[in-house]
A = this chain, B = another copy of it.
Amino acid sequence: MRYAISPIAGLDTRDLQRHWEAPQDTRPKRLIDLNLSVAAAHKLHNAGLYINHSPDILSGAEKEHLARTITNFYVSKGLPAFYVRVHFTEDAPGTAFIGGENHTNYAGITIYHLARTFQSDEARQRFLSGVDKIPNPVFAPKGMDWEYFITESSRDLWRMNGLVPPEAGSDSEKE
């Protein structure tokens, strides 16, 4: 078992082990190792992006590209890749309104961070400028409008596969 996990009553640890190991296989380990110290400084533990977009505006390849670029961005900040989730939801026609008018060329992105991410205004600005570079090349040529905001929740109220996720950069993750 690669993770030091906190025991929880009623769980079969073989199942847990299998669950933990599956996502590990997909993460670029070298990048993680390089950036563990950055992650510790940022104290960012999880990023979930929910992207609501107008119908027929993003191809499957563009979604995949955005998901990978977003993941790489967070990995460059020291987050393990499998701590990054990206969900796309296509609005049904006639269900998204900006300024009271149906908008048919739009993406609204809600970003959940666990936990408090930014130690200074400068760090925050640097981070947001990095985020901005991701959707701009995809959305701007389409003439889209888009916006995002980040909402921050406590890392202590998060569980993965019934487990307390290891600290980014902790020994249990490095093994």
Contact B112 A97 (CB under 8 A): no
A136 close to B (CB within 8 Å): yes
Residues of B within 8 A of A124 (CB): 156-157
Range class of the A interface residue count: 35 or more
Given known A108-B48, A143-B18, contact A68–B12 (CB-CB < 8 A)? no
C-alpha gap A48/B5 in the complex (Å): 28
**Interfacial residues, chain A to chain B (CB-CB below 8 A):** 8-12, 15, 18-19, 22-23, 26-27, 46, 48, 52, 60, 63-64, 67-68, 70-72, 80-82, 84-92, 94-102, 108, 110-112, 114, 121, 124, 128-129, 131-133, 135-136, 139-140, 143, 145-154, 156-162, 165
